[in-house]
């Protein structure tokens, strides 16, 4: 995995020149291929807990993830981004669909249907970074226990080797190895998030799922963690699935972005394309709603009316149609399919080809 | 008199100090904050965790919890006197927090909007009942009139079918609707000052845009002054006229919004603005960072609280002396607390009280 291989230029955004994508693995296909993923949660009511309906938390979601890239899932609360991520890690079992993951040996497994006993070796290759660095670390354990836990659980190395590995990991995330015997309370939010990252990297995963990794941190510390994640990616060739609601953060880390709305993907494209020339009215509204840190740009903001649709009882047609200022008759009756409008740019909107929408200038 | 009115602030905070006396030591949560708030304008108080922005708000409302208390300073609220003719000034810092007078100000003359409307509403009373209670307490009208007013307010803040929503509980509403209901409650008594502490932090970005729009719209109509407390510099840039930047309990810089964003003077303001992720940035770019992290309040550095993280700190000065907040322009529109702008000891030349002159 860490063998030197021929390097190719990153696919988009040449701004992080240090990054290396592995040409050989890229040619072998995606690291992760999610196909028609669904996760419905039953709604039960009454004394007999009768089934009265379903919350369609994730409803027919498909995307792939190439080795070494960062794909962000963005959207507002209840859009299904976190549920999608949890399905991929098999923290919850999907209702239907496939999650094809290519393991270290090149074999492809379907995470969605894998029997429980075969999950553990797989989980060494997919790890998670959590949102809240305060509640995700056990306060009674030292850094050595916390970061070394995945090694212990998976019976990697002896005591001495584990200690060495923890020291190496701490150094990797910018913490002093001497801190190994300390408890998490001695550390700030940013340092705790570094500890969480060190733990996630302990078993050399190929896929790291980061769920809102900086949203609980102070602004001045967010940048440190985002930079660290970019550095680790180029150093270790990691593939990130980044779940976030903050589009500014997403722009700083992603190669591609998928915008979700009520359990479905509304639009997916390369980051610069999606921000500069969005093709879905929801993406346009989302970009426009982000407050820009410049008083001279006080905007003619697009303010959407109403609330996000109810995933238990979505409107007919396109789920976004009640809030969409471009909605036509067809939008109220037919659900749009996610279709390519340009290579690598997919949109689920009946009017995508005729609309000119406003993006964000760089 | 009326010509002067726009120049006279509604609310002036002068050298406010609110400390928390804990067993482990004293935390100077707010350590000498001064700023003015004018009618019809929005003042942003911005800073990261532990900077004292929320304690400042709680001090103004006199709801600082033990072991915290206001140690010194003034919180001057100007308002029409009882005869309706003259203006009078009350020092809120000197009032008994439990007094009738303070209760009249809190929720009456100063309306409040908090971050999490779920915890601000009682789960066992309907939103309408809670509004009716506030309205009756402050305006002395009967229950039927108060209910009418509550429905009217819910309509004003854009809640659909207010006649029905008024009888709902807070948990039956979405986050956006709850925050609207909270704003309606805050407006119930026609406050002249609205204090909003992270009013959109718990909301999604499209809902945030709705709430900010609503606040702007209400301000234009009612002419109230808004204090907006937030960590989000984007929200500050969109909403505020004046900005106060705080760090570890102190105001490090104060000025008009354009000066803060386009000509920041304090190294902290400069670094903070550089380090925030921007939607207008190039894709996959690294951000300049501020080294280190915010110190624990018990380990407050001596001298300028920012000096251990500052790239321009002056050895021998910044770790020894505490800089004062002093104007950097003749008109006292921009003030900075930094030795790069005011060398120590000469600093007494321009008194901080210069701004108080009407």
Instruction: Give the model confidence (pLDDT) of A12-63 as tens digits.
Output: 333 454 454 544 445 568 999 999 999 999 988 888 888 888 899 999 999 9
Q: CA of A228: which chain B residue's CA is closest?
A: B286
Statement to judge: residues A269 and A313 lie in one domain: yes
Looking up tokens 């990252």, which residue turns up?
A: A197
Statement to judge: residues A95 and A173 lie in one domain: no
Asked if the Cβ–Cβ distance from B237 to A251 is below 8 Å, we say no
Distances (CA, A) of B30 to A236, B37, B101, B356: 44, 18, 24, 21
Q: Which residues of B touch A298 (CB under 8 A)?
A: 237-238
* pLDDT digit string, tens, across residues B194-225: 999 999 888 888 889 988 999 999 999 989 99
pLDDT of residue B346: 46
Asked if the Cβ–Cβ distance from B276 to A362 is below 8 Å, we say no
Asked if the Cβ–Cβ distance from A291 to B275 is below 8 Å, we say no
Statement to judge: residues A4 and A119 lie in one domain: yes
Q: What is the mean pLDDT of residues A194-216?
A: 94
More confident residue, B297 or B46: B46
In this predicted structure, the answer to whether residue A328 has a pLDDT above a threshold of 90 is yes
In this predicted structure, the answer to whether residue A359 has a pLDDT above a threshold of 70 is yes
Q: Which residues of A touch B235 (CB under 8 A)?
A: 291
pLDDT of residue A27: 57
Q: CA of A252: which chain B residue's CA is closest?
A: B284
Asked if the Cβ–Cβ distance from A226 to B277 is below 8 Å, we say yes
Q: Which residues of A touch B280 (CB under 8 A)?
A: 292, 360-362
Q: What is the mean pLDDT of residues B87-109?
A: 92
Q: With bands split at pLDDT 50, 70 and 90, how would you rate the model's confidence at A99?
A: very high
Exposure string of B68-101, with b = 16+ CB inside 10 Å and e = fewer, is bebeebbbbbbeeeeeeeeeeebebbebeeeeee
Q: CA of B241: which chain A residue's CA is closest?
A: A295
Least confident of A328-332, B191-195, B198-202: B198-202
Asked if the Cβ–Cβ distance from B284 to A291 is below 8 Å, we say no
Q: Is the peptide bond before B67 cis (omega within 30 degrees of 0)?
A: yes
Dig out the tokens for A105 from the structure: 């040996």
pLDDT of residue B354: 42
Length in residues, chain A: 362
What are the start-end ranges of the H helices in chain A? Answer: 23-27, 81-88, 119-123, 143-153, 159-172, 189-201, 219-236, 247-253, 271-276, 281-289, 329-333
Q: Which residues 296-335 of chain B have a CB within 8 Å of chain A?
A: 296
Statement to judge: residues A120 and A145 lie in one domain: no
pLDDT of residue B298: 82
Q: CA of B278: which chain A residue's CA is closest?
A: A248
Rounded to whole angstroms, how far apart are CA atoms A318 and A334? Answer: 6
In this predicted structure, the answer to whether residue B53 has a pLDDT above a threshold of 70 is yes
Statement to judge: residues A344 and A278 lie in one domain: yes
A83 in B contact zone (CB under 8 Å): no
Q: What is the mean pLDDT of residues A211-219?
A: 89
Statement to judge: residues A100 and A249 lie in one domain: yes
Q: Which residues of B touch A302 (CB under 8 A)?
A: 209
B205 in A contact zone (CB under 8 Å): yes
Q: How many CA atoms lie within 13 A of A67 on its CB side?
A: 25
pLDDT of residue A35: 97
Average pLDDT for chain B:
88
Asked if the Cβ–Cβ distance from B294 to A188 is below 8 Å, we say yes
pLDDT-above-90 percentage for chain B: 57
Q: Which residues of B touch A248 (CB under 8 A)?
A: 234, 276-279, 281
- Structurally, chain A folds into a number of domains equal to 2
3-state helix, strand, coil in chain A (%, to 5): 35, 25, 45
Q: With bands split at pLDDT 50, 70 and 90, how would you rate the model's confidence at A2?
A: very low
Q: CA of B175: which chain A residue's CA is closest?
A: A307
Asked if the Cβ–Cβ distance from B176 to A224 is below 8 Å, we say no
pLDDT of residue B352: 42
Asked if the Cβ–Cβ distance from B279 to A245 is below 8 Å, we say no
In this predicted structure, the answer to whether residue A346 has a pLDDT above a threshold of 50 is yes
Separation in Å, CA of B18 to nearest CA in chain A: 23
Asked if residue A54 lies in contact with residue A40, where contact means CB atoms within 8 angstroms, the answer is yes
Give the residue among A220, A265, A311, A226 at the shortest CA–CA distance from A37: A265
A185 in B contact zone (CB under 8 Å): no
Asked if residue A104 lies in contact with residue A2, where contact means CB atoms within 8 angstroms, the answer is no
- A227 lies in a domain? no
- A107 lies in a domain? yes
Rounded to whole angstroms, how far apart are CA atoms A288 and A284? Answer: 6
pLDDT-above-90 percentage for chain A: 71
- A80 lies in a domain? yes
In this predicted structure, the answer to whether residue B296 has a pLDDT above a threshold of 90 is no
* pLDDT digit string, tens, across residues B315-339: 999 999 999 999 997 777 899 999 9
More confident residue, A10 or A90: A90
Distances (CA, A) of B198 to A112, A203, B202: 40, 39, 8
B232 in A contact zone (CB under 8 Å): yes
- A63 lies in a domain? yes
Highest-pLDDT range among A287-291, B117-121, B181-185, B239-243: B239-243
User: For residue B276, which phi and psi values (nearest 5 degrees)?
Assistant: -80, 135
Q: Which residues 87-146 of chain B have a CB within 8 Å of chain A?
A: none
Statement to judge: residues A357 and A307 lie in one domain: yes
For residue B286, give the nearest of A227, A249, A298 by CB distance.
A227
- For residue A152, the enclosing domain spans 135-204
For residue A362, give the nearest of B236, B272, B282 by CB distance.
B282
Statement to judge: residues A199 and A214 lie in one domain: no
Parallel, antiparallel or unpaired: strands A207-211 and A345-347: unpaired
Least confident of A26-40, B94-108, B114-128, B339-353: B339-353
Average pLDDT for chain A:
89
Asked if residue B63 lies in contact with residue B70, where contact means CB atoms within 8 angstroms, the answer is no
- Mutation pick from A220, A282, A302 vs chain B, by most beta carbons of B within 10 Å, is A220
Asked if the Cβ–Cβ distance from B280 to A191 is below 8 Å, we say no
Q: What is the mean pLDDT of residues A285-310?
A: 87
Asked if the Cβ–Cβ distance from A251 to B277 is below 8 Å, we say yes
Rounded to whole angstroms, how far apart are CA atoms A71 and A269? Answer: 10
Separation in Å, CA of A306 to nearest CA in chain B: 9
Asked if residue B137 lies in contact with residue B189, where contact means CB atoms within 8 angstroms, the answer is no
Separation in Å, CA of B110 to nearest CA in chain A: 26
pLDDT of residue A21: 52
- A130 lies in a domain? no
In this predicted structure, the answer to whether residue B347 has a pLDDT above a threshold of 50 is no
More confident residue, A243 or A20: A243
In this predicted structure, the answer to whether residue A10 has a pLDDT above a threshold of 50 is no
Q: What is the mean pLDDT of residues B148-161?
A: 90
Q: What is the mean pLDDT of residues B72-91?
A: 89
B70 in A contact zone (CB under 8 Å): no
pLDDT of residue A117: 87
Statement to judge: residues A173 and A256 lie in one domain: no
Q: What is the ipTM of this complex?
A: 0.83
pLDDT of residue A193: 94
pLDDT-above-70 percentage for chain B: 93
Q: CA of A310: which chain B residue's CA is closest?
A: B174
In this predicted structure, the answer to whether residue B348 has a pLDDT above a threshold of 80 is no
């Amino acid at each position: 995995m860490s063998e030197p291989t021929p390097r190719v230029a990153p696919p988009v955004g040449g701004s992080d020149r240090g990054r290396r994508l592995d040409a050989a693995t890229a040619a072998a296909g995606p690291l992760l291929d999610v196909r028609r993923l669904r996760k419905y949660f039953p709604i039960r009511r009454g004394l007999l807990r009768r089934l009265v309906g379903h919350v369609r938390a994730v409803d027919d979601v498909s995307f792939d993830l190439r080795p070494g890239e960062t794909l962000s899932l963005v959207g507002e609360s209840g859009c299904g981004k976190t549920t999608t991520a949890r399905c991929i890690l098999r923290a919850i079992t999907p209702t239907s669909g496939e999650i094809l993951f290519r393991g270290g040996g090149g074999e492809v497994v379907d995470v969605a249907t894998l029997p429980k006993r075969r999950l553990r070796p797989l989980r060494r290759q997919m790890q998670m970074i959590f949102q809240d660095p305060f509640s995700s670390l056990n306060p009674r354990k030292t850094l050595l226990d916390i970061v070394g836990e995945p090694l212990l659980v998976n019976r990697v190395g002896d005591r001495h080797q584990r200690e060495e590995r923890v020291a190496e990991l701490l150094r990797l995330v910018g913490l002093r190895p001497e801190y190994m015997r300390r408890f998490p309370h001695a550390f700030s939010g940013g340092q705790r998030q570094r500890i969480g990252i060190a733990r996630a990297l302990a078993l050399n995963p190929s896929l790291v799922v980061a769920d809102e990794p900086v949203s609980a941190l102070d602004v001045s510390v967010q940048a440190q963690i985002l930079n660290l994640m970019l550095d680790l990616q180029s150093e270790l060739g990691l593939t990130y699935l980044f779940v976030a609601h903050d589009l500014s953060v997403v722009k700083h880390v992603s190669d591609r972005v998928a915008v979700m709305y009520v359990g479905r993907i509304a639009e997916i494209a390369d980051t610069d394309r999606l921000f500069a020339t969005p093709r879905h009215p929801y993406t346009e509204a989302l970009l426009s709603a982000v407050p820009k840190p410049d008083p001279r740009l006080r905007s003619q903001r697009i303010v959407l009316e109403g609330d996000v649709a109810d995933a238990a009882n979505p409107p007919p047609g396109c789920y976004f149609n009640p809030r969409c200022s471009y909605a036509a008759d067809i939008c109220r009756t037919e659900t749009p399919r996610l279709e390519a409008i340009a290579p690598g740019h997919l949109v689920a909107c009946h009017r995508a080809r005729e609309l000119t929408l406003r993006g964000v200038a760089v | 008199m009326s010509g002067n009115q726009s120049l006279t602030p509604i609310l002036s905070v002068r050298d406010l100090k609110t400390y928390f006396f804990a067993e482990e030591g004293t935390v100077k949560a707010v350590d000498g904050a001064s700023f003015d708030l004018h009618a019809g304008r929005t003042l942003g108080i911005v800073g990261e965790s532990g900077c004292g922005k929320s304690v400042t708000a709680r001090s103004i409302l006199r709801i600082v919890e033990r072991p915290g208390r206001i140690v010194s300073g003034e919180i001057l609220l100007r308002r029409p006197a009882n005869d309706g003719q003259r203006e009078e000034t009350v020092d809120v810092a000197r009032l008994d927090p439990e007094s009738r007078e303070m209760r009249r100000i809190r929720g009456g003359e100063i309306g409040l909007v908090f971050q999490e409307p779920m915890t601000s509403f009682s789960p066992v009373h309907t939103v309408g009942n809670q509004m009716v209670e506030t309205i009756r307490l402050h305006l002395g009208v009967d229950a039927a009139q108060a209910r009418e007013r509550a429905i009217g307010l819910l309509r004003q803040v854009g809640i659909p079918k207010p006649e029905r929503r008024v009888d709902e509980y807070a948990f039956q509403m979405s986050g956006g609707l709850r925050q609207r209901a909270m704003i309606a409650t805050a407006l119930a008594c026609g406050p002249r000052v609205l204090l909003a502490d992270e009013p959109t932090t718990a909301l999604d970005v499209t809902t945030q845009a709705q709430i900010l729009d609503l606040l702007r719209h209400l301000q234009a109509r009612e002419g109230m002054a808004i204090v907006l407390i937030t960590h989000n510099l984007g929200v500050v840039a969109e909403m505020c006229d004046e900005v106060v930047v705080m760090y570890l309990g102190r105001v490090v810089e104060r000025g008009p919004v354009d000066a803060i964003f386009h000509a920041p003077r304090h190294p902290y303001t400069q670094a903070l603005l550089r380090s925030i992720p921007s939607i207008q940035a190039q894709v996959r770019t690294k951000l300049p960072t501020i080294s280190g992290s915010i110190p624990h309040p018990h380990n407050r550095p001596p001298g300028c609280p920012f000096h251990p993280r500052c790239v321009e700190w002056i050895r021998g000065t910044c770790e020894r002396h505490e800089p004062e907040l002093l104007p950097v322009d003749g008109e006292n529109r921009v003030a900075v607390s930094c030795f790069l702008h005011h060398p120590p000891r000469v600093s007494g030349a321009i008194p901080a009280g210069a701004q108080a002159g009407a």
